[in-house]
Structure 1
Amino acid sequence: MILAIFLFVSAGWPAAVQAAPPVSTHAEAAALIDVTSGRILYSQQGDKQMRIASLTKIMTAIVAIENSKLSDMVKVSRNAAGKEGSSIYLKLDEEMSLNHLLYGMMLRSGNDAATAIAEHVGGTVEGFAYMMNEEAKLIGMTRSSFKNPSGLDADGHYSTANDMAKLAAHALHNPVFQEIVKTKVKKAPNPNESWDYSWLNKNKMLTLYEGADGVKTGYTKTAKRCLVSSATRNGQQLAVVTLNDGDDWVDHAKLLDYGFKNFPLQQFIGKGDIVQGTDFAAGTSFAYPVLDSEKGQFSTKIQLIDPTSTSYRLGDRGTLLYSLNGNSIGSVPLYEKDSPRLKQKENSAFSFQASERGTATYTPKWLYIVQFLVRVLFTGSAA
């Protein structure tokens, strides 16, 4: 039995009529997203499928972090060592930890590092591309296709500004990824010389914008200048994507300012808070970016669980659903106010537990390889 109880969370919020002012960029396509909620706050041709150059490496990094051990030693193949384009100058048969390769790839955009990572995690570049596309499906990137880990131009390799914004929000909830992309300079052991590698992050936003903490630059002659950046202010993190933008540093600062000013993050409920009209406590917190003109347009609905169900016996009591203008925007699990489940570590829909692998959601790479081979054998395609 599901009992629906309607509540309104707008009490005390004055109605507002001022909408966010218009904003524009020099980009062919752009998107702005609130990382906590995943809400896209601005989109300019956001669904246009385009080349994304080395922004691809955001996907490469998060797939590697989620599916392999950071301490793994990766041996550089001939294919990786000879990869064209930007490089960290790895040598044939050189060995480097996956952790250091991730820094070399994300800070210096090393195509050799990306290829070495792909071959280690996915068995082959093609196998890793299959993993990338499976990850894209899980994230909800419905208009993207990946053919390689580096972003070098290839037929059938593309994404959109909106999809890349979703990817950035997803990846930025991973603590390992967060740490890598906010690093300005990284040193790593160099087995070939007496001096260490020293990698300076190409992302100038880290020094140009207050609160900047990511993410990745990209460029090819076909894709032109591409950039994903992120910044955190007053507890709110935003990410911006621009594709083919000749003035991207300025445009990113403009869009970040726009987001922080017009869409401040509103805390609706905290973990452990008692939900109005019930004896139940919220199992997680819920926050959402709110435009002034949207205040007063939010509502909640409580769905209670059948007391005879398995979920009820396991401690679940229901779900608190949040809506904006009738559209679902999020949910919070409900427990008894003294439930031990309230003491568990809180994770958002995007977040990952920190571990040696960088996440708790680990899928053995052999399983992806088997899935990839089955797909090729029975369909003749890895897509």
Structure 2
Amino acid sequence: MTHFRLTVLLLAAGSAMGVAADLPPLELGAKSAIIVEASTGIPVFEKDADAKRFPASTTKIMTALLLLERTRPSEVIFAPEDVETLTGSSLHLKPFEAVTAHDLLFALMVRSANDGAYTIARHVSGSVEKFAELMNEKAKALGCTNTHFTNPHGLHDDLHYTTARDLIRIAREAWKRDEFRVAAGTTKYEVSRTLNLEDTVLISRNRALRSDPPSEGIKTGFTRPAGQCFVGSATREGLQFLTVVLGSEDWYGDHQAMIEWAFANFELQEVVKKGVAAASVKVQGGVEEQIELLYSESVKAPVPKGASLTELVASSVPQAIKAPIGKDQAVGTVRVTNGSGWSEELPLIAAHEVRQQFLIAGQSVETIGFALIAGGLGLGTLYVKNRARKLCRGFRGR
């Protein structure tokens, strides 16, 4: 049986909970919410993040992402013949009106145009149903597990739902695109269109963009069944947090409370660094008695300010390991946490190769080999000296 020991550098099972318990409470009115650090996707706060909720117009983040993936910015898109049947927020498109994909992106993100979303779906997939299939395929590819879209705009449908955790995955993917980031942070935009020329100026209703300078968007949403919804982003001194609020009565108040709480309590740190020694383990039957184990990769994570990084790391390694051992061979594991519920496990690897030690008559082959070599050298030296003496006698005899 292989015996393992837990090397705590310093995390006993309760320590992470202790770190989390030291954080001040965050009270929200929203039914579901989540905060993640943008570069890592690691959450620092969750509230019913896996509960299915109606997303309202935050749906359009996925629609915008597929628009960017499936069209060129200059591509001309024609509104369908029945475009005027769409209700709610609208670009007031006329049947067969021409608008570029670029301008429809801003119509989605700035005015939240339902008719623009419908026009995109018809252009990309031919029908809303086919486009919804595309949305669901993309959601699954992004790791979403509790999301089902039935339309591109978010108008209510009992079968159209997502979760705070899934929605943040979609938002992180969209945020990777420059065009999306610009549109998500725009407060005013003028579209070019072929009809309805009196309606060209788009004004964002995203209150966070006007009142909170670090805010960068992203998308508001509301229907009566969904309540107020919001996906947001804010960056301060290079640290970016993304938020999702679903089922709120005050999305702005919830978002602001989340952002202030996150910036006040967390910072981004390299918790472990690739190649640094994490532990050591005894070697059985090897030419060395011990070997160092290294972190196999670096891990950055948002951690509570002032927290000791050693309190966030724990390694589990065997009492001993039998040789031979290969360089970079996995030997044990390390678990990294951020003190707020998130954790990740990665392997610890051998720092170098350790060869097996073979014994003959109780001595290692290496020891015997060295003795033989030393003995051989000694005999060779004696032979050379004796040969030299004989040669000297021969010369004297002459």
Q: Same fold (TM over 0.5)?
A: yes
Instruction: Show the counterpart of 1:291.
Output: 304
1:30 equivalent in alignment to 2:43: no
Instruction: Show the counterpart of 1:252.
Output: 255
- The higher radius of gyration belongs to 2
Once residues 8 and 48 of structure 1 are traced to their aligned partners in structure 2, the CA distance between those partners, rounded to angstroms, is 34
Structure with more strand by fraction = 2
> Partner letter of residue 323 of structure 1?
V
SS of alignment partner, residue 50 of structure 2: coil
Give the 3 Å change call, closer, same or farther, for CA 201–286 of structure 1 in structure 2: farther
Instruction: Show the counterpart of 1:45.
Output: 48
After TM superposition, the structure 1 = structure 2 runs for residues 216-231 of structure 1, keeping only pairs within 5 Å, are 216-231=219-234
1:249-270 deviations in Å (ceiling 9; x for gaps): 1111110011111121124589
Identity, % of aligned pairs? 32
Once residues 257 and 225 of structure 2 are traced to their aligned partners in structure 1, the CA distance between those partners, rounded to angstroms, is 25
- Candidates 160, 179, 184, aligned match of 1:157: 160
How far did residue 55 of structure 1 move? 0.8
1:229-264 deviations in Å (ceiling 9; x for gaps): 111111111111111211221111110011111121
- Candidates 43, 52, 55, aligned match of 2:58: 55
Instruction: Show the counterpart of 1:188.
Output: 191
Once residues 83 and 262 of structure 1 are traced to their aligned partners in structure 2, the CA distance between those partners, rounded to angstroms, is 44
Once residues 314 and 70 of structure 2 are traced to their aligned partners in structure 1, the CA distance between those partners, rounded to angstroms, is 39
Instruction: Show the counterpart of 1:356.
Output: none
1:325-374 deviations in Å (ceiling 9; x for gaps): 99764889xxxxxxxxxxxxxxxxxxxxxxxxxxxxxxxxxxxxxxxxxx
Give the 3 Å change call, closer, same or farther, for CA 131–234 of structure 1 in structure 2: same
Consecutive unaligned residues in structure 1, runs of 5 or more: 1-5, 302-316, 333-383
Conserved 8 A contact 1:187-1:196: no
Once residues 193 and 81 of structure 1 are traced to their aligned partners in structure 2, the CA distance between those partners, rounded to angstroms, is 12
Conserved 8 A contact 2:185-2:209: yes
SS of alignment partner, residue 248 of structure 2: coil
How far did residue 63 of structure 1 move? 1.8
Once residues 86 and 177 of structure 1 are traced to their aligned partners in structure 2, the CA distance between those partners, rounded to angstroms, is 20
Conserved 8 A contact 1:185-1:200: yes
1:112 equivalent in alignment to 2:115: yes
How far did residue 155 of structure 1 move? 2.7
Conserved 8 A contact 1:29-1:45: yes
- Candidates 230, 235, 249, aligned match of 1:232: 235
Instruction: Show the counterpart of 2:82.
Output: 79
How far did residue 196 of structure 1 move? 6.7
1:168-212 deviations in Å (ceiling 9; x for gaps): 222222222111101111111132255571111111111222310
Once residues 37 and 83 of structure 1 are traced to their aligned partners in structure 2, the CA distance between those partners, rounded to angstroms, is 38
Give the paired residue count. Answer: 310
How far did residue 74 of structure 1 move? 0.5
Conserved 8 A contact 1:36-1:288: no
Consecutive unaligned residues in structure 2, runs of 5 or more: 1-5, 11-15, 279-291, 317-328, 348-398
SS of alignment partner, residue 263 of structure 2: helix
Once residues 215 and 127 of structure 2 are traced to their aligned partners in structure 1, the CA distance between those partners, rounded to angstroms, is 35
Instruction: Show the counterpart of 1:373.
Output: none
Conserved 8 A contact 1:264-1:291: yes
Once residues 110 and 199 of structure 1 are traced to their aligned partners in structure 2, the CA distance between those partners, rounded to angstroms, is 10
How far did residue 274 of structure 1 move? 7.3
Instruction: Show the counterpart of 1:243.
Output: 246
Conserved 8 A contact 1:28-1:245: yes
Give the 3 Å change call, closer, same or farther, for CA 300–123 of structure 1 in structure 2: farther
Once residues 291 and 164 of structure 1 are traced to their aligned partners in structure 2, the CA distance between those partners, rounded to angstroms, is 24
> Partner letter of residue 233 of structure 1?
R
Conserved 8 A contact 1:321-1:328: no
Once residues 191 and 277 of structure 2 are traced to their aligned partners in structure 1, the CA distance between those partners, rounded to angstroms, is 53
How far did residue 167 of structure 1 move? 1.9
- Candidates 125, 147, 154, aligned match of 2:128: 125
The two structures have a TM-score, normalised by structure 1, of 0.70
How far did residue 156 of structure 1 move? 1.0
- Candidates 138, 143, 146, aligned match of 2:149: 146
Once residues 80 and 321 of structure 1 are traced to their aligned partners in structure 2, the CA distance between those partners, rounded to angstroms, is 56
The two structures have a TM-score, normalised by structure 2, of 0.68
Instruction: Show the counterpart of 2:92.
Output: 89
Give the 3 Å change call, closer, same or farther, for CA 85–193 of structure 1 in structure 2: closer
Once residues 237 and 330 of structure 1 are traced to their aligned partners in structure 2, the CA distance between those partners, rounded to angstroms, is 24
> Partner letter of residue 300 of structure 2?
A
The range that moved more, 75-84 or 215-224, is 75-84
Instruction: Show the counterpart of 2:351.
Output: none
> Partner letter of residue 206 of structure 1?
L
Give the 3 Å change call, closer, same or farther, for CA 191–241 of structure 1 in structure 2: same
Conserved 8 A contact 1:60-1:114: yes
